[in-house]
Amino acid sequence: MSEAPTADGTVKPTKETYDQFQQAYEYLNRALFKSELPNCLITLQRRNRTYGYFSGDQFGRTDGLVTDEIALNPRHFHNRPVAEVLATLAHEMAHLWQHHHGKPGRNRYHNREWAERMKAIGLQPTTTGEDGGQETGDCVYHTIVPDGPFDTAVKKLLSRGFAISWIEKPPAAKETSGQDAEGQEQEPDESKSGKRVKYTCPSCGLNAWAKHSVKLVCGSDMTGMEPAA
């Protein structure tokens, strides 16, 4: 059985990957935010049941300079079109915009100001992940508005040959485990389906109570909330 070739000294996967996301960030900043956003640190984080998240003033340099973080989950790059990955980037850029130019909601609640900014860039906020959902709340997703500013800008970017070169390989299929809607492995529910338990967001500490069998996502950073042990 032959092995796939390994990147040699002439190939720089780190530079290629982060240069492409920096290019996308700068392009979307010009096209959708009139270049109002400061640069930030874009990271790749494999956080369960999340496409991405924003953290304000998350990193600091030795000279005192601080910057925000936008994290993207590479586990979903292989099963989502590039436009949807970039929509997640733009979603978090809207949080970054509000962090610097607006008034974020309590505990990162997706408030009306954020929702209006999302609609202005061509992403429709929705609590259900589909058209018709509420536009504000603790857990808010988005859809791409056809022919809206984001859709138009990204189609132009892709027509110029933009791509995400390095894609994480999908996990091998496991016969004994199921998967949720975002492709993450989940443990089978055994005996707690009728018991209400506490769920906590590992990123911002938001708490919620629900049955053990449900899957909750914190809307502030699209992070899966974990049930108490």
Q: What is the mean pLDDT of each run of 10 residues along the chain (229 residues)?
A: 72 97 98 98 93 96 98 95 98 98 91 98 95 93 98 98 94 44 29 55 71 65 65
pLDDT the model gives residue 25: 98
**Cβ–Cβ under 8 Å, residues 72 and 44:** yes
pLDDT the model gives residue 221: 65
pLDDT the model gives residue 222: 67
pLDDT the model gives residue 11: 94
Mean pLDDT of all residues belonging to the chain: 84
The Cα 27–Cα 37 span in angstroms is: 11
pLDDT the model gives residue 145: 98
Q: What's the pTM value of the predicted model, to 2 decimals? A: 0.74
